[in-house]
Structure 1
Amino acid sequence: ILYFAYLLLFKVLMTSFSAVINRLFLVFFQGYPSSNLALKGEATQSSTLSFAAASKAIDGRRNSFYTNGFCSHTAEDETDPWWRVDLQHSFTITTVKVTNRGDCCAERLDGAEIRIGNSLENNGNNNPKCGTINSLGSSPTHTFQCNEMEGRYITVFLPGPQKILTMCEVEVFASLSAFPSPSQTTSGWDCAGTVLIM
């Protein structure tokens, strides 16, 4: 009986130790919380103009000049255009960074809403709102605090007729508590519970 008690204690200690090591690995080796979750997501949008696919806004480049080919762009004069990234898992979102065009037309993004949630109803546009883009000012990149909103889908929705939605980068960051325990083995996570973001 004593042997089995020691064996059980050993397993508990090893599980706890593994969890601690995995968290430290996230922080020190994968650069968390600076890891941008959008980089491993899948992007889509209501329409696409020319070469400016939705994926251009999650390519890791903040190049704000549209002609350089690193920005997303919906069709011209669209009603209620939207852009969305699927993070593949639900996270506790802390901040979202949006990089607007820097060469021209920055005002096109005014009024766009950042929405976060787990629903795809109305293309994700009905999910809770993190913030509204009014004016990004002189800097093309602006950070929106989302106060730990839960969600798998990050949607940028621009309500109204004759709108154009164009962005040069969208970055998404989550709380450390959003990562799973070592027992979770769903797709996108390894058996130790660390997120695969490389």
Structure 2
Amino acid sequence: MNVLCNAFDLCFLDGLYTCRFRSGHTNLSNTTTQCEHFEIRANKDCPNGFFSRSRGICKNMTVLSNLAIDKPATQSTTYRDYNATNAVDGNRGTNVGVDKCAYTDHGDSNPWWRVDLQAVYNITSVRILNRGIDQYGGRYVSHWLHDVTVTVGLTESDVNTPCGYFDGPGTASQLVVIDCLTSPQGRFVKISKTTDFLTLCEVDVFGVPV
């Protein structure tokens, strides 16, 4: 059975599956991770429904939800009507012409996109759904997703705490998973790059309340 993690380093299926910690594993910054079977081990220090992690902290086994969905978003520039909110509208289509992904304007040499989560969280993971094949030749421009930096901040004017980096290049309809291994605290999540064009078909943000 293939079960995918959608948050930091763990997911559960009837208490039988979990994902390994992503830290220390190679080539996981741009891929999803299969859940792996594990043996349930009771811990007398944790109540039912919780499990023990490193440093003796009890954690709830609930799978985290996407914090970015339908939240206010903005970007450095906008190409035509491909505005920032298109990346948090829940539409997981990757045909730019049909599904209206977020898309910065041509000539923007330092494009960025930012979402306001409207509350402070410890951010654990950010997922980017890249553009796919479309009538405009998406199969040839999906590689534009490269050298992407994800940062977190408490205010919209200071979103500079590192979460992670994707060097790319992206492939058509690729789901890029960027883990924030230090779980930075913030209300705003920013995706930026230092070359032309930033196209994001959907962005998912996962974290836990502060």
TM-score (norm. length: structure 2):
0.62
Is the contact between residue 109 and residue 165 of structure 1 (CA under 8 Å) also seen in structure 2? yes
Describe the SS at the equivalent of 1:44: strand
For residue 85 of structure 2, what is the aligned residue in structure 1? 55
List gaps (5 residues or longer) in structure 1. 1-19, 21-26, 181-198
Is the contact between residue 51 and residue 69 of structure 1 (CA under 8 Å) also seen in structure 2? no
The residue type paired with residue 100 of structure 1 is: N
For residue 157 of structure 2, what is the aligned residue in structure 1? 121
In structure 1, C-alpha distance between the alignment counterparts of 2:179 and 2:121, rounded to whole Å: 15
For residue 191 of structure 1, what is the aligned residue in structure 2? none
Q: 1:166 to 1:137 in 2, by over 3 A?
A: closer
In structure 2, C-alpha distance between the alignment counterparts of 1:133 and 1:86, rounded to whole Å: 24
Among candidates 85, 88, 91, match of residue 121 of structure 2: 91
Q: What aligned pairs does 1:39-54 form with structure 2 within 5 A after superposition?
A: 39-54=69-84
Among candidates 172, 180, 184, match of residue 205 of structure 2: 172
Is the contact between residue 69 and residue 89 of structure 2 (CA under 8 Å) also seen in structure 1? yes
Among candidates 174, 177, 184, match of residue 143 of structure 1: 177
Describe the SS at the equivalent of 1:121: coil
For residue 155 of structure 1, what is the aligned residue in structure 2? 190
Describe the SS at the equivalent of 2:109: coil
* Structure number having the greater helix percentage: 1
Q: Which runs of 4+ in 1 moved over 3 A?
A: 136-139
In structure 2, C-alpha distance between the alignment counterparts of 1:142 and 1:74, rounded to whole Å: 19
Please report how far the alpha carbon of residue 34 of structure 1 lies from its aligned counterpart in structure 2 after TM superposition. Answer: 3.9
How many aligned residue pairs are there? 146
TM-score (norm. length: structure 1):
0.66
Q: 1:117 to 1:130 in 2, by over 3 A?
A: farther
Q: Show CA shifts across 1:114-146 (max 9, x none).
A: 111214336x3x332422342334651121111
**Percent identity, aligned pairs only?**
31
Please report how far the alpha carbon of residue 179 of structure 1 lies from its aligned counterpart in structure 2 after TM superposition. Answer: 2.9
Please report how far the alpha carbon of residue 157 of structure 1 lies from its aligned counterpart in structure 2 after TM superposition. Answer: 0.7
Is the contact between residue 53 and residue 72 of structure 1 (CA under 8 Å) also seen in structure 2? yes
In structure 1, C-alpha distance between the alignment counterparts of 2:119 and 2:202, rounded to whole Å: 20
Q: 1:80 to 1:138 in 2, by over 3 A?
A: closer
The residue type paired with residue 155 of structure 1 is: K
List gaps (5 residues or longer) in structure 2. 1-46, 48-59
Is the contact between residue 119 and residue 127 of structure 1 (CA under 8 Å) also seen in structure 2? no
Q: What aligned pairs does 1:13-52 form with structure 2 within 5 A after superposition?
A: 33-52=63-82
In structure 1, C-alpha distance between the alignment counterparts of 2:78 and 2:90, rounded to whole Å: 19
In structure 2, C-alpha distance between the alignment counterparts of 1:70 and 1:91, rounded to whole Å: 28
Tell me which moved more, 135-144 or 101-110: 135-144
Is the contact between residue 90 and residue 151 of structure 1 (CA under 8 Å) also seen in structure 2? yes
In structure 2, C-alpha distance between the alignment counterparts of 1:80 and 1:129, rounded to whole Å: 18
